A and B are shown apart, each in its own frame.
Chain A
Amino acid sequence: MDLIANHISHHFGDLAVLDDVSFTVSAGEVVAIVGPSGCGKSTLLSILGGLLQPTSGAPELRGAPPADSFNPLTYVFQDFALLPWATVEENVEFPLLHTQLSTAQRRALVDDALRRTGLTDFSKTYPKQLSGGMRQRVGISRALAVKPAILLMDEPLSALDSQTRELLMEDFVRLLADGGMGAVYVTHNLEEAARLADRIVVLSRRPGRIREVVSVPMTRAERGEVAAREKLLALQNQIWSLIRNEAIDAEREVQHA
C-alpha cells in the first residue's frame, strides 16, 4: 500500500501553512520530513493520517492494505498520548477493543507487541510510573499491536533526552528493518532523518513547500557502522545548508496571532 500526498495545501484562517505538497511513500519505504520550525511538518502528518481536513488537495492510498492490518495508517505521537488511567497492557490493547477479535486473540497480539518493545515486565504498570523513553515504547508497542502498513511518526523522540533518543533510534532501526512496514517520520533532527529514512523530504519555511527530496543511498543496517558516519554527516550538512537560512528567518519571525 502506497501513501500519496496529492497537491496538499492548508491554511489556518489567513495563515498559509502548506503550499501544494506532493510526494509518494511506497510500500515499506521510510520517508522523513524535515524543515525549519513552523513549516507545517506536523500539520502535514495530521493531514496524511486523516486527522485534519486540508484546505485543498488530499491524502490518498494506492493498493490494498495488508490483510492482517487493523489500522493501516498508525500514529506514534510526540507526547505519547497514553491513557494515564490505563496500565501498559491496557494502553496497548485499547486500539483492539473495538475489533472482532476474541479476548485470547487480543491478548496474543498485545503480548507480542509488548515483547517486541521489551515491555513484558512492565505490563501492569501505569504510564506515570515510567520514564519518557519507556512511555514512548508503550506508544510504539500500541502502534505495532494493530499491525500497521505505514507508521506516521510525529517527532517521536523530541520529548526525550539525548541518551534515551539514541536508544530508541536503535529500536526504530530494528523495527523498520525487519518487515514491510513503511513510515513517514516527521522530525527537526537531521541526524534522525539521515539514520532512518530512505528519502528525506525537505520543506521550506512557512508556507511549507517541497524544496528538495534527498535520497539516502545506504541501507539502514549499513548506516550503523562507523564507516558510514562521515557520509551521513555530509548528508546532514547538505540538508542543513538547504534549510539554515530559512531556519534563521523562521526563528526571527514575529508571531501575528
Chain B
Amino acid sequence: MLDRAVDTSAKAEATRRVRFRGAGFVPASSRFGGWIALALVIALWQAAGSTGLVNPLFLPAPSAIVRAIYELAMSGALWQHLSASLLRIGVGWLLGTAAGVVVGFAIGLSRLARSVGITFISALFPIPKIALLPLLILWLGIGEEPKIATIGLGVFFSTAISVYSGVDAVPRNLIRMAQSFNVPFATIVHKVVWPGALPAILAGFRITASVALLLVVSAEMIGAQYGIGAFVLQAGNLMQTDQLLAGVVILSVFGLVVGKVIGWLETRLLHWR
C-alpha cells in the first residue's frame, strides 16, 4: 500500500492541466449593448439622409421623422388619431379578453363546455378576423362597432385558447390536495386554478395586445377617417413618407409601452415564481 503510494509520486513526469471545455452556450445579454447598436443604426441612417445618399422621399432621416411627430403633436392631429385608435383597441381588447377568460375557464373546467367550445374554437380560430370586417359592417353599420368587434373577435379566440391551456396546466396534485381537504369547488377555482393559470393568461395578453394592434391598423386602413392606421394610409397616398414613418414609430412605441405594462404586471402578480 505504502510502497505503491511512494511509487506514483516518484514518477517525475511533467503534469498537464486538464483543458477547459465548458465554454459557451450561456449567452448573457449585456446591459447597454442593445442600446448602443440601436443608436449606431440611427446615426448611420441619419448620416445617410443628411449627406443626400438616400432620397428622403423613400426614406426620410430620423430627424425628419422626429420633426413630423413634433408637428403632429403640436397641431393636435396626433392626439385625434391616437385617441381614436386607443379607444377601439381598449374597448375591443377588454370585451374580447373578458369573454375569452370566461369561455377559457368554462372549457378548462367543464366537460360540456370543453367538447362544444374546442370544436367551435378550432373551426373559427384560423379565420383571419379582418376578413370578417365587411360582414361586421353589414351587421353593425359603418361606425366604431364593426372595428371594435373585429378586434374583440381576434382577441377573444387567442385569449380563450391561452386561458384553457393555462387551466389545463395547473398541477393536478394541487387540485387533489385541495380536494383532500374538502375545499369547495369555488374556492379551488379562486385559490388554486386562477393563480395557477395566471402565468399563461398573462403570456396570452402579450399575444392579444399585438393581435389588437394589428387588427386596429388593418381596420382603420379599410375604412376610417381618424386613427393611426388611417393616418399612415393617407400619408402614404400623399407620399408624405416622414408622416407615414411618424405613424409607424408611434405604433412601435405603443407596442413597447404595452409590453412594458404586461412585464410590470407579471413581476407584480407572479413574484412567487
Residue in contact with A79 in the complex, picked from B173, B180, B273, CB distance below 8 Å = B173
Q: Which of A64-122 contact B (CB under 8 A)?
A: 71, 73-75, 77, 79, 81, 83-86, 94-95, 97-98
Question: How far, in Å, is B186 (CB) from chain A's closest CB?
Answer: 9
Select the residue from A77, A98, A128 with max chain B CB neighbours within 10 A. A98
Question: How far, in Å, is B188 (CB) from chain A's closest CB?
Answer: 10
Q: Does B252 contact A (CB under 8 A)?
A: no
Question: How far, in Å, is B200 (CB) from chain A's closest CB?
Answer: 14
Q: Does A49 contact B (CB under 8 A)?
A: yes
Query: Are the CB atoms of B177 and A81 closer together than 8 Å?
Result: yes
Residue in contact with B187 in the complex, picked from A75, A79, A98, A128, CB distance below 8 Å = A98
Query: Are the CB atoms of A85 and B195 closer together than 8 Å?
Result: yes
Query: Are the CB atoms of A75 and B272 closer together than 8 Å?
Result: no
- CB-defined contacts of A79 to chain B, threshold 8 Å: 173
Question: How far, in Å, is B251 (CB) from chain A's closest CB?
Answer: 35
- CB-defined contacts of B179 to chain A, threshold 8 Å: 51
Query: Are the CB atoms of A94 and B180 closer together than 8 Å?
Result: no
Query: Are the CB atoms of A83 and B173 closer together than 8 Å?
Result: no
Given contacts A98-B183, A98-B184, contact A75 B177 (CB under 8 A): yes
Query: Are the CB atoms of A95 and B181 closer together than 8 Å?
Result: yes
Query: Are the CB atoms of B180 and A126 closer together than 8 Å?
Result: no
Given contacts A84-B272, A85-B272, A97-B187, contact A74 B195 (CB under 8 A): no
Q: Does B260 contact A (CB under 8 A)?
A: no
Q: How distant is the Cα of A128 from the Cα of B271 in the complex, in angstroms?
A: 11
Query: Are the CB atoms of B181 and A74 closer together than 8 Å?
Result: yes
Query: Are the CB atoms of B184 and A81 closer together than 8 Å?
Result: no
Q: Does A196 contact B (CB under 8 A)?
A: no
Query: Per DSSP, are chain A's interface residues mostly helix, strand or loop, or mixed?
Result: loop
Residue in contact with A83 in the complex, picked from B176, B195, B270, CB distance below 8 Å = B195
Give the bracket for the number of chain B residues in contact with chain A: 10 to 19
Query: Are the CB atoms of A71 and B195 closer together than 8 Å?
Result: no
Q: Chain A 6-50 against B: per-residue CB contact (8 Å), 1 yes, 0 no?
A: 000000000000000000000000000000000000000000011
Q: How distant is the Cα of A73 from the Cα of B181 in the complex, in angstroms?
A: 8
Q: How distant is the Cα of A128 from the Cα of B272 in the complex, in angstroms?
A: 8
Q: Does A203 contact B (CB under 8 A)?
A: no
- CB-defined contacts of A75 to chain B, threshold 8 Å: 177, 180
- CB-defined contacts of B191 to chain A, threshold 8 Å: 83, 86, 94, 97
Query: Are the CB atoms of B181 and A71 closer together than 8 Å?
Result: yes
Q: How distant is the Cα of A247 from the Cα of B180 in the complex, in angstroms?
A: 31
- CB-defined contacts of A71 to chain B, threshold 8 Å: 180-182
Question: How far, in Å, is A84 (CB) from chain B's closest CB?
Answer: 5
Query: Are the CB atoms of A74 and B180 closer together than 8 Å?
Result: yes
Q: Which of B190-211 contact A (CB under 8 A)?
A: 191-192, 195-196
Which residue of chain B lies nearest to A148 when distances are taken between CB atoms in the complex?
B181
Q: Does A146 contact B (CB under 8 A)?
A: yes
Q: Does B174 contact A (CB under 8 A)?
A: yes
- CB-defined contacts of A97 to chain B, threshold 8 Å: 183, 187, 191
Question: How far, in Å, is A154 (CB) from chain B's closest CB?
Answer: 10
8 other A-B residue contacts (CB within 8 Å) besides A50-B180, A83-B174: A51-B176, A71-B181, A79-B173, A84-B272, A86-B272, A94-B191, A95-B181, A98-B184
| Chain B residues at the A interface, C-beta cutoff of 8 Å | 173-174, 176-184, 187, 191-192, 195-196, 270, 272-273
10 chain-A/chain-B pairs, Cβ below 8 angstroms: A51-B176, A83-B174, A83-B195, A85-B196, A85-B270, A85-B272, A94-B181, A94-B191, A95-B178, A95-B183
